[in-house]
Amino acid sequence: MNEANLCEKLKKIKLLAMDVDGTMTNSTVYYSKNGEELKRFCIRDGMGIELLRREGIKTAIITSENSPIVTARANKLRIEHLFFGSRNKKRDIEQLAAQLEIGVDEIAFIGDDVNDLQAIQTAGIGACPSDANESIKENADYICDAKGGEGAIREIIEKILLSQKKSISLPESW
């Protein structure tokens, strides 16, 4: 998709939906000796989510996982809409659009693997990290320069905000 068409589609976005593993994280899972699962998140992505919220753009997580780690991260970031254990991300996007009374063309979705394909094809903007699965890259409207867990979320957020002529910085009083 050329830059002008991408910008026009980004102007409509009212919600960013995100996959977690491989998108908000770097696809790596750590286990402690007690079997506790740990994931690494990018702090700059979190600030990007705050910038979206301040500009009135809603956020959602749609993940096939059902992890207390993801719940904790979503709560910290005050992500409004959560879909855990998803087995049909396309349906979840359509449900979210209906619930919020917006069109699917007003939703951007970022994901990285084959279980994200239908969501990427359904959303108004389908984005992916640079290290996404090849079939995802072939179907994405936008391929980030950043890898998953290394700023890909922030990158698509800044694209959305800049296309809508909104701020990518916080006020001094923050």
Residue with tokens 């830059």: 3
Q: Which domains does the chain have, with CATH numbers?
A: 3-163 (3.40.50.1000)
pTM metric for this prediction: 0.94
Task: Check residue 174 and give its pLDDT.
Answer: 56
Q: For the chain, which residues score pLDDT lower than 50?
A: none
Do residues 81 and 96 lie in contact, with contact meaning Cβ atoms separated by under 8 Å? yes
**Cβ atoms 123, 134 nearer than 8 A:** no
Q: Which whole-number Å values give the CA distances from 86 to 16, 47, 115, 126, 137, in the listed order?
A: 17, 25, 9, 18, 21
What is d(CA 60, CA 81) in angstroms, rounded to the nearest whole number?
4
Return the bridge partners of 109, or none: 17, 126
Bridge partners of 157, per DSSP, are: none
Q: Are 147 and 27 in contact (CB under 8 A)?
A: no
Of 85, 95, 94, 89, the closest CA to residue 111 belongs to 89
